[in-house]
Amino acid sequence: MDRTQRFGIEEEYFITDLGSRRMLAEPPAHVLAACREVIGDGFSYEMFQGQVEVASPVFDDAAEAAAYLGRVRRELSQALAGYGLGFICSGVHPLADWRAQCATPQVHFQRLFEEFQIVAQRSVLSGLHVHAEIPTGVDRIAVLNEVLPWLPMLLALSVSSPLWQGQPSGYCSYRQVVCDEWPRMGIPEFLSDEQSFEQYLGLLKRSGALAEDANVWWGCRPSLSYPTLELRMTDACPRLSDALAVAGLFRIMIKHACQMLTPGSQYSLERLWLLKENRIRARRCGHHGRFTLAPDTAAISLEQWLILAKQQFGETARALGEDGVFDHAQQMLRDGSSAERQLRVFGASPGLRGGRAVVDLLLEESRQSP
């Protein structure tokens, strides 16, 4: 078995005032310059001025990812502290008022705000994005169809957005609820191969629905820039170790699918329907959801689903040196999700005081090393 699987990770951070615990609407230029200096070539602006992105280099293994992102988080925390600021890495900022946030003045973002209006303005969100390389000659849509049914499991592990506008939303990932306000986001269309994906994009571009250089925003999609599949469904993870575990699971699944003779051959309309329902359960209930994996089978817990994942992907994980990822995922279940931890803290003192306490929790977890 080929023991390589290159990948990259994108994380998004909310710049936060340590006094008010609120997201900064308009960070001064010198603050953004300090962020850019720390992050280096991986620095990117995001839709809102108070949000920055780090796009990693290409990694060969998890140790490289841990070292790189650990350094970025540590040094960014230190740099921002000098200005009375910090950052949090979570699906939403618990105390951010979306009405108060300022769009980043770049042409790409301005077009999004002009076209999508309040949908764009409400999207004060951060995700964990993972690119996994697909070898030349392997059909990316076939691999996508193989891994798609597993993605709600990764979402359930990552949920970190239970609060919205300072109050419990009733969802473990309210970020995914807001995502559904956008077109062409969520679960991919039912496609057979990469040629059908190109036909789909071509039709939308000819109809004027997509610009010539545009892509879709599905929860997992083929990249137009790199030979990868990009995971986008998962919430940003406050704990870097959890982000690395979710990325590791995705990397293992992609590697396993790429080595199959006919990846995606078992994907069907029925499994697509179940995938949609499992995503709904994951964003609503997180670790406590129950999931149906195939027609005429009983629903199972997330713990049982992880056991099945280890049975199916264990050999691939060992070959990649990632066999510990399943133990970490089980530890995530024992610790409770980020959403659960946030709700426990908020429940101890509801209201603004509880919201501030949740931000303090996220500030602390976001700057910890794995």
**Cα gap 117→48, rounded to integer Å:** 14
Please check whether residue 46 is in contact with residue 103, taking contact to mean a CB–CB distance below 8 angstroms: no
Alpha-helical segments (H) within the chain: 29-39, 62-81, 107-116, 118-121, 140-147, 151-158, 174-179, 194-207, 240-258, 269-285, 302-319, 325-335, 338-348, 352-367
Would you say domain 104-362 falls under CATH 3.30.590.20?
Answer: yes
For residue 78, what are its two tokens?
Answer: 């230190």
Mind listing the pLDDT tens digit for each residue in 155-202?
999 999 999 999 999 999 999 999 999 999 999 999 999 999 999 999
Q: Domain coordinates of the chain in residue numbers?
A: 104-362
At residue 4, the pLDDT reads: 85
- Whether the pLDDT of residue 39 is over 70: the answer is yes
Distances (CA, A) of 241 to 23, 35, 46, 245, 251: 24, 22, 23, 6, 15
Q: Within a 13 Å sphere around the CA of 331, how many CA atoms are in the beta-carbon half?
A: 10
For residue 27, what are its two tokens?
Answer: 């960070």
Mind listing the pLDDT tens digit for each residue in 283-341?
999 999 999 999 989 999 999 999 999 999 999 999 999 999 999 999 999 999 999 99
Please check whether residue 26 is in contact with residue 33, taking contact to mean a CB–CB distance below 8 angstroms: no
Please check whether residue 38 is in contact with residue 75, taking contact to mean a CB–CB distance below 8 angstroms: yes
1 pLDDT band, cuts 50/70/90, is low
**Cα gap 88→41, rounded to integer Å:** 21
At residue 321, the pLDDT reads: 93
Question: What phi and psi values does residue 160 have, to the nearest 5 degrees?
Answer: -145, 25
Question: What is the mean pLDDT of the segment spanning 49-60?
Answer: 97
Mind listing the pLDDT tens digit for each residue in 337-350?
999 999 999 999 98
Mind listing the pLDDT tens digit for each residue in 221-262?
999 999 999 999 999 999 999 999 999 999 999 999 999 999
Residue entry with tokens 């670790």 = 287
Kindly report the average pLDDT of the chain as a whole number.
Answer: 96
- Whether the pLDDT of residue 150 is over 70: the answer is yes
119 pLDDT band, cuts 50/70/90, is very high
